[in-house]
Structure 1
């Protein structure tokens, strides 16, 4: 049994799950029309012929993608255009045109994720710094890509990006705690858990800033509609056909929509703290979310889960201060979930009115979200 080492999975203490160098700002020549289309998305969505404009785009040139950062940018641009194509009109699109579907699938294969907008593209790869030597935090970062744009959409996503940045120290603390368990060093386990507690507190404080610049009404009516998926969606009972993607054999695909449950932060915290969920639909859903995460992040979660048990070490050591800080960490994870549930109530449930694409009782990931979030917290 060995500790999970973040460096083995491309994770850093400084950046957490975020890329360790700032995301690519544009695509190389050869795909500039697609790149510009993404940048113009908020303006293009004001027109009535959006879907036709997408169909008129030139063939996407995967061979022109230069390096990992550009591949991730391609996934971001294609995913935003794909979601916009789907939800730009009241009538859902049952077919994704080949000009978009084929490169979306192929780039998805390169990054190990399905062809739909997932959290990695929505948030983790979607930022730039104004002051390049400054911190990755709200006030010094802006989005590379929006649907409609505006303060509320930016802020909603920027909060998540800052949380990802703050999580870096928590992920390193997981490694340090497991290493200390292996060596049987209670003081080092405690020091690692203190570090984890500090990081979790910082993450919780950032999440608490959501209402500052993201209004629930605007979120519900202008931000949320574009991130729904094609699974458990009444307007897409047979999913979406990806035209020209031979691997799908013309069968409609039912992918989940973007959701914070696709971030690898909380699953890693559950893993190190030994927090287990009942074997039920919620747990199945959380496991399914891993197919939308970067494969390296999933591998890290699995390494944490398979690593030495911090919970068992704390229980058997019977040291009051160690037990106390461990319990503080568990409580902070619970508080983080409770705040998320509170926001789901304010931003979605309370705004619940009929809206094209999905009933309000179903989350963007295609679940009865209030039920799931309560269970998740409990």
Structure 2
């Protein structure tokens, strides 16, 4: 997964991502630019609020957390569980079924098998490394791109198309799903590391 994520550097210009693509990924829930949500004509007369696309909506990341017994902070857990509402229902049911299954971590602890504990820790470590790399991507594609846009230096790479103009300053500290981006990402990375079985 980390190897696939690294391909983003080859295909996505940070300035284009920040000033164009990210705007369309951002939702209406927790978006300071649209605090009341959005009225969908013909659907509802009241504004509706939906989160934007987020890695927190990925079934596989939730499945890894449940399988490995990773326990996040209350705030992060609340956000992650809200993101499950955007999964296809069978995916959400699969994640919930893993969560109800007997604990893999407890099984390994009671087994006394050092090799199994080491393999488990390698899995937890790989998940933490993926989450660390996600922070690196966010730094490049949001934080640094935001600073360049503020300074008026955000120009797309050759052949990337015209600049979108004014950067989305209301979303500088928010993820596309609406989380407080670095606080959330660092929290889930750190609690993932805490999931290791100590020797």
Shorter-chain TM band = 0.7 to 0.9
Query: CA contact under 8 A between 1:274 and 1:311: conserved in structure 2?
Result: yes
Deviation at 1:365, TM superposition (A): 1.3
Deviation at 1:358, TM superposition (A): 3.1
The residue correspondences of 1:227-242 to structure 2 (distance < 5 A) are: 227-242=25-40
Moved over 6 A (4+): none
1:280-339 Cα shifts (integer Å, max 9, x gaps): x22111100011110100000000010121111111111111111010000011111110
1:53-80 Cα shifts (integer Å, max 9, x gaps): xxxxxxxxxxxxxxxxxxxxxxxxxxxx
Query: CA contact under 8 A between 1:220 and 1:351: conserved in structure 2?
Result: yes
Aligned equivalent of 1:361: 173
**Which one of the candidate residues 56, 76, 79 is aligned to 1:285?**
79
**Which one of the candidate residues 178, 186, 191 is aligned to 1:374?**
186
Deviation at 1:357, TM superposition (A): 7.2
Rounded Cα–Cα distance in structure 1 between residues aligned with 2:30 and 2:70: 28
Deviates more, 1:265-274 or 1:204-213: 204-213
Query: CA contact under 8 A between 1:257 and 1:366: conserved in structure 2?
Result: yes
1:232-258 Cα shifts (integer Å, max 9, x gaps): 22221211112222xx4x221111111
Paired positions, count: 172
Q: Do residues 204 (structure 1) and 16 (structure 2) align?
A: no
**Which one of the candidate residues 178, 199, 213 is aligned to 2:11?**
213
Query: CA contact under 8 A between 2:63 and 2:98: conserved in structure 1?
Result: yes
Rounded Cα–Cα distance in structure 2 between residues aligned with 1:225 and 1:242: 18
Query: CA contact under 8 A between 2:52 and 2:176: conserved in structure 1?
Result: yes
CA RMSD of aligned residues (A): 1.5
Rounded Cα–Cα distance in structure 2 between residues aligned with 1:267 and 1:326: 17
The residue correspondences of 1:244-263 to structure 2 (distance < 5 A) are: 244-245=42-43, 248=44, 250-263=45-58
Q: Do residues 314 (structure 1) and 112 (structure 2) align?
A: no
Unaligned segments of structure 1, at least 5 residues: 1-202
Query: CA contact under 8 A between 1:225 and 1:357: conserved in structure 2?
Result: no
**Which one of the candidate residues 46, 67, 70 is aligned to 1:272?**
67
SS at match of 2:170: coil
Rounded Cα–Cα distance in structure 1 between residues aligned with 2:31 and 2:87: 21
Q: Bigger relative contact order, structure 1 or 2, given CA contacts below 8 A and separation 6+?
A: 2
Q: Do residues 345 (structure 1) and 102 (structure 2) align?
A: no
Query: CA contact under 8 A between 2:28 and 2:34: conserved in structure 1?
Result: yes
Rounded Cα–Cα distance in structure 2 between residues aligned with 1:223 and 1:242: 22
Aligned equivalent of 1:335: 129
Query: CA contact under 8 A between 2:26 and 2:52: conserved in structure 1?
Result: yes
The residue correspondences of 1:291-306 to structure 2 (distance < 5 A) are: 291-306=85-100
Unaligned segments of structure 2, at least 5 residues: 151-165, 191-199
Query: CA contact under 8 A between 2:73 and 2:187: conserved in structure 1?
Result: no
The residue correspondences of 1:1-378 to structure 2 (distance < 5 A) are: 203-245=1-43, 248=44, 250-279=45-74, 281-352=75-146, 353=150, 355-356=167-168, 358-378=170-190
SS at match of 1:270: helix
